[in-house]
Structure 1
Amino acid sequence: MKNRSLLSLVFGIISLFLSVYGIFFGIVGLILALYTIRNDKNTEQKGRRMAIGGLATSIIGAGYQVVGIVVILLTA
């Protein structure tokens, strides 16, 4: 349980810093976080908080990368 939570948080943080591949890491982190939050009802509070952090960073990272790519495509 905590492994998936930590992995979703790590993928979310990685998605913030990588340029094009950040989208893929963000999507993987988002899927892992949603899976952990929905299926593991009996997880301890720390694992759930890490999964929520992974969800937030994955959404921000993937969204940031999508906006960056759209801006690059529109200005080219």
Structure 2
Amino acid sequence: MAFVPICVQCGTRSNPCRCKVIGPTLGFVALVVAGVVEWPLGAAVYLFRRRKGRRIMGHPAGVVYPRVNGAIPI
């Protein structure tokens, strides 16, 4: 049995039905893919440069997810 993430965001004004499914779902998938790459890298950088490591580890949640979610209006 496979787990398929489906995210729903209601109350948005970006489309007439005020509900988004595709944007948040693809945003979540992009967040996970970016996190798999950036969190171990950020942890390694954190050992030497803490501020830079934290920025790298926060990048998927702070930049990747909002951009993908906002780019798809449905």
Common topology (TM > 0.5): no
Higher helix share: 1
Bigger relative contact order (CA 8 A; separation at least 6): 1
**Structure 1-normalised TM-score?**
0.35
Higher strand share: 2
Structure label with greater radius of gyration: 2
